[in-house]
Amino acid sequence: MNALTASIAPAREALRAALGPWRQRWAQASSREQTLVRLASVLILLALVWLVGVAPALRTLRTAQSQGPQLRAQLQTMLLLQDRAKALQAQATTQRSQDTEALLEAALTTLGGSARMVLAGDRATMRLEGSGPDALAQWLAQVRLNAGALPVEVQLRQNQGLWSGTVVLQLPTRAAP
């Protein structure tokens, strides 16, 4: 504790030295001047408390009351969206439990005869030859939504507006029956 007191002592002395002229001026001021300075200090303190503490709280309270109906409507919309998301998740789980291979084969029809599929464990490799960009985009959307497969590796080349190459898909894990 002595080390702390020793380190504070120089700062305390510097503060006393800096406040010395102000203390002398205060002692020389008349009681009327001292009263006016105290009153001004109290008014400034009250203004600061109002500006920093009370006014923002009142402003928040007023806006909260006016925004109540709007916030309740937003909450209802968010709850509705949450219900839709849960329904889509349940639907996706049901779809994933179906035969993934059949879903991937069905999606291949969007690419026409330009694609071949090879299944190996939890991955499917698609070899594309001359597929159109719209058909490729539609196929990717179908395998993602219907089969729950995610592209993990894509090696495509574009030639005269058509795409060729391979796409490796990660198949969803099968739930235990």
9-24 tens-digit pLDDT: 888 888 888 888 888 8
- Using the predicted structure, report yes or no on whether residue 175 has a pLDDT greater than 70: no
The architecture (CATH level 2) of 100-170 comes to: 2-Layer Sandwich (3.30)
Using a 10 angstrom Cβ sphere, with 0-12 exposed, 13-18 middle and 19 or more buried, the burial of residue 124 is: buried
pLDDT tens per residue, range 90-143: 765 555 445 677 777 777 777 777 788 888 878 889 898 888 888 888 888 888
Q: Which one is predicted more confidently, 139 or 40?
A: 40
Residue 68, SS3 per DSSP: helix
How would you label 47-57 residue by residue, b for 16+ Cβ within 10 Å and e otherwise?
eeeeeeeeeee
How far apart CA 55 and CA 126 sit, in angstroms, is 65
For the chain, residues classed under CATH 3.30.1360 are 100-170
Question: What kind and span of H or E run contains 160?
Answer: none
